[in-house]
Amino acid sequence: MDNRPVGTRQARDLLRVAFGPSAVALVIIAAVVLVQLVVANSDMTGAFGAIASMWLGVHAVPVSISGAELGVMPLLPLLAMVWGTARTTAAATRAGTSWFVIRWIVASALGGPLLIAAIALAVIHDASSVLTTLQTPSASRAFGCVLAVHAAGAAIGVGTRVGRRLRATPRVPSWLPDAVRAASAGVLALCGLSGVIAAGSMVVHWGAMDTLFGITDSAFGELSLTLLSVLYAPNVIIGTAAVAVGSSAHVGLATFSAFTVLGGDIPALPVLAAVPRPPLGPIWVALLIAAAVAGVALGQQCARRAVPLPEAAGKLIVAAALAAAEMALLGLAGGGRLGNFGDVGVDQTTFGPAVFVWFAGIGALTVVMSGGIGRRRTPRPVPAAAPATPPADDTAPIPATPDAPVEEPEIVAEIVDDHSIFGTTHDEDEELAYEPPFEEPRYEPAFEEPPASASVRSPARDVFDLDDDPEAHYFTDDDVASDDPRRSAD
């Protein structure tokens, strides 16, 4: 349990969010630059300019050296910076944090890196006066790239904490978090399968990769090439994904797609040994399978909760659009100009739309087959509870009126067959023989008109007079032994 005051704890959290990821990146970059300078037996002149340039390069800011622009920056450090920002902002956003504090957290996540970017630009501008080969990058582009990278990380970190609160907001659709999760699943599936294909291509072209490692004679040079290959591996994966969905990737004049390959000069980087050689062969089938499997992964996430058709269609379209936007941004960040080789990257005009078509088409088929479309539940009106009525009382007095005669209850007398009592048997035809109908006894009231003084009348007293002899109402077996109908006197 943290016993520090709330103000002190929040201030330290904001400082960690503002400068934590950037400070870690500066420390790692400084160590790499110093090791490079020591190995090359060079002085420390321009070390701060190199550190500042590499820090901006981590945020996909192009660096110009001797008039040659290096715009193709490795995606792995950029993704690590996004992850670090998302982690620090998520740690600072606790459960129940107010929106006021959340705005301060986001502002800190953006303000600290922008301050460091301004200092880096100043350091580069000062170092360019000593090192004429180093040019100061565009300030607007530098601030824009730094702002975009840390804004993406802050959005991911805060979104993981306030997702449930946003779902409870009436203006936000309840299926929006599911769409975001489905888009992430589709992007991860496509990138993972593309990485597997790229690794398999590197194994197939192992000889070409060994040749690229042979351009240096020192172990440190091979280590540097290996490190560069690891840093640029996400760029190759994005290019493979573009080829898998039907778009194309290019390295200068060399163009690669699922159906055709145009050769050209490529940089001497071992990871680029994974690029296909003409003729392409049946490898395009594996590429199409990877795109289809990624669409199935997105559709399965959309079908986790069955919703009516309009909501299911909206969820699928939003998920496919988000996935296409993510892949397009990754393709844009992983491309750029590479000196004399020309532009390197993917075809942006077809990459995003191709991802959307694959995810929307295969995802829709998966949603239908997985039962992700349900019926709309209409609330049924609940009938109002009827007021409780007291049970009828048979003994309640019935008011007597001279005009309306009172209905008297009927008396049903059950006749017991004496033959069955004494065990006498007879044929079934005699049992089914017709018997004359039994005339029920009716007792007439002792008076025709009720007395004027009588206000109530009991039907039970009219039927059975308690003053009569009780033995007159009983009968014995001898009285019913014959088939003659019972007389009223009995």
Q: Which residues contact 59 (CB under 8 A, 6 or more apart)?
A: 78, 81, 113, 117, 142, 145, 146, 149
The CA radius of gyration of the chain, in Å to the nearest whole number, is: 46
Long-range contacts of 224-228 (CB under 8 A, 24+ apart): 225/269, 225/270, 226/270, 228/74, 228/269, 228/271
Residue 117 has pLDDT above 60, yes or no: yes
pLDDT at position 422 is 39
pLDDT at position 305 is 85
pLDDT at position 416 is 44
pLDDT at position 490 is 44
pLDDT at position 19 is 92
More confident residue, 111 or 214: 111
Domain presence at residue 8 = yes
Residue 227 has pLDDT above 50, yes or no: yes
Would you give the distance in Å from CA 163 to the centre of its chain? 11
| Co-location of 265 and 344 in the same domain | yes
Tell me the pairing of strands 68-70 and 261-262.
unpaired
pLDDT digits (tens, 9 = 90+) for 251-265: 888 888 888 888 778
Kind plus residue range of the DSSP H or E element containing 456: strand 456-457
Domain presence at residue 286 = yes
pLDDT digits (tens, 9 = 90+) for 148-171: 999 999 999 998 888 777 666 767
| Co-location of 203 and 273 in the same domain | yes
Least-confidence region, from 59-68, 100-109, 118-127, 230-239 = 59-68
| Co-location of 402 and 365 in the same domain | no
Q: Which residues contact 99 (CB under 8 A, 6 or more apart)?
A: none
Residue 91 has pLDDT above 80, yes or no: yes
Residue 449 pLDDT grade (very low, low, confident, very high; cuts 50, 70, 90)? low
| Co-location of 135 and 181 in the same domain | no
| Co-location of 269 and 182 in the same domain | yes
Domain count, the chain: 3
| Co-location of 87 and 180 in the same domain | no
pLDDT at position 93 is 87
More confident residue, 68 or 103: 103
By the 10 Å C-beta count (0-12 exposed, 13-18 middle, 19+ buried), 378 is classed as exposed
pLDDT at position 59 is 92
Q: Whole-angstrom Cα distance, residue 218 to residue 340?
A: 26
Would you give the distance in Å from CA 454 to the centre of its chain? 82
| Co-location of 258 and 367 in the same domain | yes
Phi then psi for residue 11, to 5 deg, are -65, -40
Q: Would you state the structure tokens that stand for residue 485, as one six-digit string? A: 């109908």
Q: For the chain, what's the residue count?
A: 490
Sign of CA dihedral 290, 296, 299, 303: negative
Least-confidence region, from 108-112, 218-222, 353-357, 409-413 = 409-413
Domain presence at residue 387 = no
| Co-location of 250 and 121 in the same domain | no
342 torsion bin: left (phi>0), alpha (psi -120 to 50), beta (else): left
pTM: 0.72
pLDDT digits (tens, 9 = 90+) for 319-354: 999 999 999 999 999 888 887 888 888 998 999 999
pLDDT at position 451 is 52
pLDDT digits (tens, 9 = 90+) for 385-444: 555 565 555 555 545 454 545 455 554 444 444 444 334 444 444 444 445 555 555 555
More confident residue, 59 or 455: 59
| Co-location of 244 and 232 in the same domain | yes
Q: Would you state the structure tokens that stand for residue 299, as one six-digit string? A: 């559709």
| Co-location of 222 and 365 in the same domain | yes
Average pLDDT of the segment spanning 188-197: 93
- For residue 343, give the 3-state DSSP assignment: strand
Domain endpoint, select from 155, 170, 185:
170
pLDDT at position 167 is 66
% of residues, the chain, pLDDT over 70: 73
More confident residue, 265 or 315: 315
Domain presence at residue 281 = yes
Domain endpoint, select from 115, 136, 170:
170
Kind plus residue range of the DSSP H or E element containing 457: strand 456-457
Residue 195 pLDDT grade (very low, low, confident, very high; cuts 50, 70, 90)? very high
Contact between residue 194 and residue 236 where contact means Cβ atoms under 8 Å apart: no
Domain presence at residue 389 = no
What's the mean pLDDT when you consider all of the chain? Answer: 78
pLDDT at position 358 is 94
Domain presence at residue 57 = yes
Domain presence at residue 228 = yes
Q: Whole-angstrom Cα distance, residue 155 to residue 106?
A: 8
pLDDT at position 99 is 83
Q: Would you state the structure tokens that stand for residue 36, as one six-digit string? A: 């490079």
pLDDT at position 178 is 86
Residue 102's domain comprises 1-170
Would you give the distance in Å from CA 385 to the centre of its chain? 41
DSSP 8-state class, residue 252: T
| Co-location of 113 and 25 in the same domain | yes
More confident residue, 90 or 420: 90
% of residues, the chain, pLDDT over 90: 32
DSSP 8-state class, residue 261: E
pLDDT digits (tens, 9 = 90+) for 12-29: 888 999 999 999 999 999
Domain presence at residue 388 = no
Q: Whole-angstrom Cα distance, residue 487 to residue 441?
A: 8
Core vs surface per residue 280-291: b (16+ CB within 10 A) or e: beeebeebeebb
Closest C-alpha to 258, from 232, 290, 231, 228: 290
| Co-location of 333 and 413 in the same domain | no
Phi then psi for residue 254, to 5 deg, are -75, 125
Query: In terms of DSSP H, where are the helices of 303-427?
Result: 309-333, 348-369, 418-421
Kind plus residue range of the DSSP H or E element containing 120: helix 99-127
Average pLDDT of the segment spanning 231-241: 92
Would you give the distance in Å from CA 319 to the centre of its chain? 9
Looking up tokens 């990769």 gives 209
Looking up tokens 């008297």 gives 408
Domain endpoint, select from 324, 342, 377:
377
Q: Whole-angstrom Cα distance, residue 42 to residue 39?
A: 8
Strands (E), 183-319: 248-251, 254-257, 261-262
